[in-house]
Amino acid sequence: MVSFLPLASWSLPGLHLLPTTAMKPRRLFIAVKSFSGEAKAGGEAKVAKGSLLRQEDAHRISSEGHFWAKVLDTEKVVRVPSSAIQELTGTQAGLLEAVTNGDERLGLFSQERLMRKLSSLQKGDPVRVQITSASGQKVQGVVRYRGPIEKNKHDTSIIFGVELVGSATGKGFTDGSFKGQKFFSCQENCGVFVPVNRIEPDDSAKGNPPAPPRGPARECTRIQLTSGDPLSSPRLEIGDRVFFKMEDSTPMGTVVYCDYLPKKIETGVFVGIRLDKPVGSWDGHFKERKLCHIPAPEYGILLPISKVQKEQSDRSPEALDCNSSPPTSAFFDCPSPSSIRYPPKIEGCSFKEPPSLFPSFGSEKPKGRKGEENKKEQEAGEESEEEEDEQHDHYLLEINSMVEVNDPPIYGVIRWIGDLPDMDETIAGLELEEPLSSGCTDGQYRGKRYFHCPPNKALFVKLRRCRPDSRFGTEQNLENPVLRCNSLDFRVYASAKVEEDTPPPPLGDRGIEHLLGWKKGIQGHCNSCYLDATLFCMFTFSSVLDSMLLRPADKNDGESYIETRDLLRTEIVNPLRKNGYVCATKVMALRKVLETAGHSSGFTSEEKDPEEFLTLLFRVLKMDPLFQIRSAGKDPHGCIFYQIFTEGHPTQAVPTVQQLLEGSLVTADLKFTEAPSCLILQMPRNGKNFKAFRTIQPSLELDLTDLLEDTPRECCICQGLAVMECLDCYGDHSFGFGHMKQFCKMCSQQVHKHRNRRCHQPRPLHLPEELSHLGPLPEVIPRQTMQLFAVLCIETSHYVSFVKYGPERENWMFFDSMADRHGDESGFNIPTVTLCPEVAKYLEMPVAALAMEQPRDMEGVAKRLFCDAYMYMYQSKKMALYK
């Protein structure tokens, strides 16, 4: 990675010629305020605050401190005044280059303490990460990669690759790969790549280290994974007498160090020994750091704890020398090493110390006085173990709980709970944060699969041995609402299955009676509002997406496809359209199927975003993308929804959806390859406190004519056939705010004769060849339009929806899957559907009048539609006939 090194200090206010004897890296700056400067290509260029600039010529700096620099966001070279910029260090430049929003970039730069903390983030650090730009919360994760991810060798921007942990597992969008290149490894959909503005150090995790071992003296344990029980752990303390095998001898000594090596936790615990005889070669240091005092290297040795044996009165080194080799684990009589996949048989093993997680499989009968003492010690140890188990009983852990086991702890997430052969109590299947070299599987136990995870990460342990992850401090939710969502508990709220295909109700007042009122719509349960509201929008009054319900299975479709399709059609969509109600158990069944078929955890219990649900649903049902979009000169890209971006294009205080879409596509130089039958637009917002706009005016009709490739378009001046378009003219207010700018040949020449537009770069439009063979075009060129049929909204963390049920402006209904509740915490949500004709008043308002409205003063639920919009759904019934 190219790093930006600060040059020798020099001041901008005067003329300073830098030495030319050596090539030095060009310096990077950030604009701390907006300014206009002379453009090298001619004319004047505006530079927004937060823009990044790279110095172009280090030898030409005027006496006033002006110099030429390239604005990285626009690629324009401008003359920069020193008063408007500040220089960046190499680390600052790399971090801020990845941030696309200038205001956020400048905000980060101004927070020195935060920037220092972010700059120090390294692999392995716990963090909180914002998964998508639209999500309003940060979730737990661990940094797995830091650096550039583009294949361009000149890319210096720093991106963080984060593996999501805990309840966030499965909410990501990668397995550590980006554009075919592997940067780190994690389970599918458990990783994200984010810029620095969407990540923060998790101080709570660092502030809650695992509890130290019990007892007055420090005990050191070692997780044994080479043989015997996977988690049995011999114990050593400073001052213990020990011995170990060295060729044909058995040296003895005293423990003077017993701990993990600095920054080498993954290698396990090591023991530093002060030897009785000069046979060693260690001076007490590790990588120039002193760990303990050794009088001379000949009297020191550093060994893994698995190689060291504690001296006991009934187990001398001489006795050990009688054997061919020392045991390497806590099991002494097992015929062969065991593992989680093939654990030792119950009757075949005995061991000196009980393992930390699995049950005691047997013990030798004590003999004589020494045997009686051992028996008492064993009984005392069992009592202590029972006390510890009682302490863990109250945790009531469940699937997806973040836990730790053993001491020192290893961390993981519970992926399965149940019974295993030969085990007489409940077992938990853990997916560990870090793979272990042996003793772990990919979710199988004795050849039978219980869950999915990467190789060497699945560990099966007694559930009572698990305790909540101490790094995160707070206790987790103890209820298991997933198991409670069954037909027996929800029998009062059950909904019937409807096999026959049911079209949407007829539009207008006569088709809505069965949908209105209390206990109508889709019943919410256990964080399902994102899915309930999305399904209600997609299917209640529109059939534009019904193809996913009706496609026959082919030879490439498995059982998961048929199960998902039929469940969605017969248990959710048809009952909703026919009876106006769907029970939460039906949605939970869909969530379980999607979670299993998509290999994506968390869909049964966690908060998700609508875009995550849509992406998984389309993947499982093997649906084609809803539309294709292309950047100039590149291959088209299939999309399910389009995320609106507002950086770099002018917007009003209260923009319309039409303006936002046009501005976003123009800025990114994107076009639809053809008119879609369904278009889902995700609004620019980032939770309650980071909305891009306080109010957005819904466009009831969306005009895509000027946003399509190879489509005849009108000249924006004379209404003739346009042959040129100019992206630079888009922000020119003299043509009207926020409208596409395309011209006939003559109008384009006239417009660009103006001195302020001479630097513009108009380009020819790609028109269908058939136009040249046709006669004169009609006076009015036909428009490609789409109609708004639903809006998905979120204020903080709860999703609701608005659906249009008729042609009139007041024909809107409002749906909330958790509008009411019957009972306490173990009760049931009651969905409600109501009419909301009050929104028509605000839809008819001019933009200037709507901007004056205070959201809190809006009537009924109108505020939710105008201020909390998350996704707008548009349809073209005409195009749906062809697709």
Q: Which residues are catalytic?
A: 529, 798
CA atoms within 13 A on the CB side of 728: 16
Residue 808 DSSP code? S
Tokens for 380, please give them: 């005392």
Angstrom distances, CA of residue 329 to CA of 225, 385, 878: 9, 20, 73
Which distant-in-sequence residues (6+ apart) come within 8 Å of 340 by Cβ? 230, 439, 440, 441, 445, 458, 459, 460
Residue 811 three-state SS: coil
Do the Cβ atoms of 465 and 385 come closer than 8 Å?
no
Report which of 873, 286, 132, 218 is spatially closest to residue 543, judged by C-alpha positions: 873
Pairing relationship of beta strands 177-178 and 67-71 according to DSSP bridges: unpaired
Annotate 686-739 with DSSP letters as a single string: -SGGGBS-S--B--SEEE-GGGBTT---B-TTT-SB--EE-STTTT-GGG-TT-
Number of H helices, E strands in the chain: 19, 47
Distance, in Å, from the CA atom of 748 to the CA atom of 247, rounded to the nearest integer, reads: 90
Residue 294 DSSP code? -
Q: What are phi and psi of 298, to 5 degrees?
A: -65, -20
Distance, in Å, from the CA atom of 584 to the CA atom of 799, rounded to the nearest integer, reads: 16
CA quadruple 342, 346, 347, 352: dihedral sign: positive
Residue 39 DSSP code? B
Do the Cβ atoms of 542 and 788 come closer than 8 Å?
no
Do the Cβ atoms of 228 and 330 come closer than 8 Å?
yes
Q: Is 531 exposed, middle or buried (0-12, 13-18, 19+ CB in 10 A)?
A: buried
Q: Which residue has the tokens 């090539």?
A: 23
The torsion angle over the Cα atoms of residues 244, 250, 255 and 256, rounded to 10 degrees, is: -110
Tokens for 224, please give them: 């044994």
Tokens for 19, please give them: 């030495």
Tokens for 320, please give them: 């050990």
Which distant-in-sequence residues (6+ apart) come within 8 Å of 613 by Cβ? 530, 531, 534, 594, 603
Consecutive H or E run containing 678 = strand 678-682
Do the Cβ atoms of 468 and 395 come closer than 8 Å?
yes
Distance, in Å, from the CA atom of 225 to the CA atom of 492, rounded to the nearest integer, reads: 51
